[in-house]
Structure 1
Amino acid sequence: MRPDAPPTPEEIARAFVLQQAQADSEPGTPQEGAKLADKIYQDYLATVEPNTEGPGLLAFIENLAGERSVTNADRGPDRAFWSYVSELEGTDKPVPNRFLAKACGESRNLQVLEDTPAGHQLNSYCLGNDNVVTALSAHFDFDEAELDAVHGDAWDTLSKRYAQETEGMAVGFAADITKGSVLGRIEVPELLANSKVGKEGIKFATPLPVNPNLPAEMNTFMANDPVRCQLRLEDCNDPEQSPEEFAMKLHAIDVPEDQKEAHGRIVDRLSTADSYKDLNPAAPEAKRQSVRTNSFLPGVNVSHGIIPAPRSGLTSHGAIEPTVAPHIAPKPAGIET
């Protein structure tokens, strides 16, 4: 099986099993939170030199993110990246891409950040869980808002290192790439800058949803992996934006040689259209439904575990529905950190 092949029914089913397992692992009581806090404290003490004053919880988290390995020695060179959820054929509900990536990591020998030594350790600490954070205050002196920020920064650091160390194929599990997600802010830019990956090394295992506002030719063009990875949801999702403004953004991307003719043709067509209705007169009035949902709660940047609500507004790879403008203009891209 190709690393970027569409997910199988078995992998999709496994994703939901993994999602439930993560939910079950979250400390649901103060007693469970205290037990995990004690483990975190013991891990911290193991890093402190005898007869010295340790750096504190925040520095411990920062050091973990900056120093522990982001490579699973038991997996191959290809790496999975994810964001938000995807609607896949044969399923009656959105599939959480975080756990779909993890399931495909198992079956396809892909690296997955949450399965690396650093990612697994930080994820296991459940630092977005109120029971854990409250219990940690018995061991450390810290400000909860500051811990929240350091926790989010730690996942940003891990995601950046994880993308930078990619040497094989980068396999995306996502629909749209949003500018605010870890995938859009950090991982894809790092992959594009990585000489061992670049736009040709980024592939998507999940489909880009068809945009009914656009002609078939444009949907096909934007679903091309080297094009898709350079576009963002917001590039043409602004209701105040004209097709010409989207044409300017599309013109700026670097496309493969065999796509240049189609690229120029589409940019010209967008540039001369007064509205998206001009581009696709037969488009239905109903806009494309978003494939992201908040039925899947775990965060990565702020809270890697499944919790009733995030401890801050940051949403990492994309586990919580982002606030976006109404789907008036087409939405091009989809690898939501």
Structure 2
Amino acid sequence: MRPEAPPTPDEIARAIAFEQEHAEAEPANEAAGRELAARFYRDCLSAQPGKDVPDLLGFIEHLSKEESVTNKDRGPHRAFWSFKSQPEGADREIPHRFLARAYGESRGLQVLEDTPAGNQLNSYFLGNPNVVDALVEHYGVNADKLGIAHGEAWDTLSDRYAEATEGLVIAFAADITEDSVLGKTEMPKLLQSAKVGKENVRFTVPMPQHEHLPPDIDAFIANDPIRCQLLMGDYDPEQSPEEFAMKLHAIDVPEDQKEVHGRIVDRLSTADSYKDLNPAAPEAKRQRVRTNSFLPGVNVSHGIIPASRSGLTSHGAIEPAVAPHIAPKPAGIET
């Protein structure tokens, strides 16, 4: 079975079981929060035997920087996830983090939350209010500093996990958003890696249909090597086709798709609105020629590929704008 093949009924059931187990393990009251906070404190003491008072935030940082992000019992391919979707055969949406874990168990994929570092940090539930309150009340932790340290730890783990990738990237995501860890940290790292790049990214989740895009353009951006280089905001219907053309122009495409890529960029860049791209629109209007404002001084006619596009590297995705830093990643969960 291909590692990116759709989930089986057993994998869907296992993902739901993982979700239920996670919900049951999370502290639901003050007593459970105190118990978990005490375990966290004991682990800090064990890791820092020379200190009478352990450095709790330093323990979190050390864990994120030094503990392994590779499960020795799994294979080389790594799962990356963001948000959730409803797989065929499921009666509801399933968070992708749990679907990824089901694949990891049945198909031998690496999953961050199942690595030594990810599993340990995840087990402390340091984003849970009951745990945070107990650490503040009984161990003198500053809640704001704890939140920052916890978020930075997950960012560090995500970065290290992506950097360690040598096999295929199995992505559990529909549209990739710029405020997700996958969009702002992991995928850019993977695309820049000489060991990964766009050629080794596979999506398990079908890309949603985008009603404002012509079917051929929508199908083009659903190709894995194209899809992994785009963010949902790049083809936002509230933006102009020309803005999308700028983003699409900047990406690196496989050699056998360059001609189609060029034609699509041309069509987008010469349309005033997505309604102009409707196949039913008059042919003369769809093929008109005008000066392209994102290539100053260059007249781009239908089907002509700007020469400057050939200068990209084979692995990178050039983003016209850098996404702003969003709040730190909470306890391995994106909402």
Fold shared by both chains (TM-score > 0.5): yes
* Counterparts of 1:84 and 1:272, CA distance in 2: 34
Higher helix share: 2
* Counterparts of 2:266 and 2:54, CA distance in 1: 58
1:62 is matched with which residue?
61
The answer to whether the 8 A contact 1:57-1:140 is kept is no
Instruction: Please state if 1:301 is matched with 2:329.
Output: yes
* Counterparts of 1:300 and 1:172, CA distance in 2: 21
What secondary structure, in the 3-state scheme, does the structure 1 residue paired with 2:139 have?
A: coil
| Superposition pairs of residues 75-90 of structure 1, within 5 angstroms | 75-90=74-89
1:127 is matched with which residue?
126
* Corresponding residue to 1:262 among 260, 263, 266: 260
Q: Which has the higher contact order (CA 8 A, sep 6+)?
A: 1
* Counterparts of 2:74 and 2:3, CA distance in 1: 12
For 1:150-170, what per-residue CA distance to the aligned partner results, in whole angstroms no more than 9, with x for missing partners?
A: 101100000000000001101
2:45 is matched with which residue?
45
For 1:154-209, what per-residue CA distance to the aligned partner results, in whole angstroms no more than 9, with x for missing partners?
A: 00000000000001101000101111110001100111111111111111111111
In structure 2, give the amino acid aligned to 1:13. A
Gaps of 5+ in 1: 284-298, 305-315, 321-337
* Counterparts of 2:38 and 2:277, CA distance in 1: 60
| Superposition pairs of residues 223-242 of structure 1, within 5 angstroms | 223-237=222-236, 239=238, 241-242=239-240
Q: Percent of aligned positions with the same letter in both sequences?
A: 60
The answer to whether the 8 A contact 2:151-2:330 is kept is yes
The answer to whether the 8 A contact 1:168-1:196 is kept is yes
In structure 2, give the amino acid aligned to 1:193. Q
Gaps of 5+ in 2: 282-326
Larger Rg: 2
* Counterparts of 2:256 and 2:9, CA distance in 1: 33
| Superposition pairs of residues 41-190 of structure 1, within 5 angstroms | 41-50=41-50, 52-54=51-53, 56-190=55-189
In structure 2, give the amino acid aligned to 1:213. H
Count of aligned pairs between the two proteins:
290
In 2 relative to 1, CA 54–198 (structure 1 residues): closer, same or farther, beyond 3 Å? farther
Q: Provide the TM-score with structure 2 as the length reference.
A: 0.83
* Counterparts of 2:20 and 2:98, CA distance in 1: 10
* Counterparts of 1:281 and 1:265, CA distance in 2: 15
Measured after TM superposition, the shift of residue 275 of structure 1 is 1.0
Measured after TM superposition, the shift of residue 148 of structure 1 is 0.7
What root-mean-square deviation, in Å, do the aligned CA atoms of Structure 1 and Structure 2 show? Answer: 1.8
In structure 2, give the amino acid aligned to 1:302. P
| Superposition pairs of residues 181-220 of structure 1, within 5 angstroms | 181-220=180-219
What secondary structure, in the 3-state scheme, does the structure 1 residue paired with 2:217 have?
A: helix
What secondary structure, in the 3-state scheme, does the structure 1 residue paired with 2:161 have?
A: helix
The answer to whether the 8 A contact 2:152-2:328 is kept is no
Measured after TM superposition, the shift of residue 19 of structure 1 is 0.6
* Counterparts of 2:280 and 2:140, CA distance in 1: 62
* Counterparts of 2:87 and 2:205, CA distance in 1: 8
* Counterparts of 1:93 and 1:194, CA distance in 2: 35
In 2 relative to 1, CA 238–58 (structure 1 residues): closer, same or farther, beyond 3 Å? farther
The answer to whether the 8 A contact 1:71-1:162 is kept is yes
Instruction: Give the stretch that moved more between structures: 135-144 or 102-111.
Output: 135-144
